[in-house]
């Protein structure tokens, strides 16, 4: 006697949702855990969607497909996404131990995002994908810079960029031009709001 598998008990709509998520993940080029992070959810929560235990919202399924397609387009076009940028910054910190280079990479990511907004809007959803450097201070700086870039262009910043202020003030790089007090005075309000201090001049160029 053949025993029915759990998947055989899925109704047509549930099966369609699971298939859509699997197709989106395959398109994204990420593994399941990575795709879950990109969508702003945990691996365990994402697993409940894929096993049919919990039904995701229609908006979640649509966003999964949109972000996956944009990630694939960006990869094929050699255009960095939030995930690729975060990985490069993480490597600069972990492998090279170079905070100045990590800071420069954040500014480069901002400039590449500006290019996407202006010239490659079809790839913009690749920057909606949740990304993390793995260090709260650097995640706060990265997320806040990307959020400000979106908002300065009249766009809604992705949820992953929202950061609570750091518990202690932090300056990621020293300044050859300004004293620490001048750096605090010259830090834009949108960055000082999360207790990170970088002089406006040092934010201007990578």
pLDDT in tens, 28-71: 999 999 999 999 999 999 999 999 999 999 999 999 999 999 99
Instruction: Give the helix ranges, DSSP H, for the chain.
Output: 12-28, 32-38, 43-50, 58-77, 82-94, 99-119, 136-152, 180-186, 189-192, 200-204
**Rounded-to-integer distance, Cα 46 and Cα 124, Å:** 23
Pair 70, 93 in one domain: no
Q: Considering just the CA atoms, what is the radius of gyration of the chain in Å?
A: 20
Domain count, the chain: 2
In a domain, 198, yes or no: yes
Closest residue by Cα to residue 150 from 117, 120, 126:
117
Pair 65, 94 in one domain: no
Among 45, 77, 109, identify where a domain stops: 77
Q: How confident is the model at residue 1 (pLDDT cuts 50, 70, 90)?
A: very low
* Burial degree of 118 (CB within 10 A; 0-12, 13-18, 19+): exposed
Query: Could you identify the residue written with the tokens 């131990």?
Result: 97
Domain that holds residue 47: 11-77
DSSP β-bridge partners for residue 170: 196
Among 43, 77, 111, identify where a domain stops: 77
pLDDT at 180 over 60: yes
Pair 160, 94 in one domain: yes
Specify the pTM: 0.89
Q: How confident is the model at residue 5 (pLDDT cuts 50, 70, 90)?
A: very low
Pair 101, 25 in one domain: no
Q: At 147, phi and psi to the nearest 5?
A: -60, -45
């Amino acid at each position: 006697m053949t025993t029915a598998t759990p998947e055989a008990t899925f109704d047509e709509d549930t099966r369609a949702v699971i298939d859509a998520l699997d197709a989106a993940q395959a398109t994204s080029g990420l593994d399941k855990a990575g795709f879950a992070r990109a969508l702003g959810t945990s691996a365990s929560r994402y697993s409940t969607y894929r096993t049919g235990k919990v039904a995701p919202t229609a908006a979640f399924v649509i966003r999964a497909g949109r972000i996956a397609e944009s990630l694939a387009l960006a990869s094929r076009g050699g255009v960095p996404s939030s995930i690729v940028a975060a990985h490069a910054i993480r490597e600069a910190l972990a492998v090279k131990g170079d905070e100045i280079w990590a800071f420069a990479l954040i500014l480069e990511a901002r400039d590449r995002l500006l290019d996407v907004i202006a010239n490659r809007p079809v790839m913009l959803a690749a920057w909606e994908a949740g990304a993390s450097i793995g260090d709260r201070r650097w995640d706060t700086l990265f997320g806040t810079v990307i959020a400000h870039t979106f908002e300065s262009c009249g766009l809604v910043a992705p949820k992953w960029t929202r950061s609570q202020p750091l518990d202690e003030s932090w300056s990621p790089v020293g300044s050859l031009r300004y004293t620490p007090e001048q750096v605090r005075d010259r830090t834009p309000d949108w960055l000082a709001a999360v207790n990170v201090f970088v002089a406006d001049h040092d934010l201007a160029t990578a």
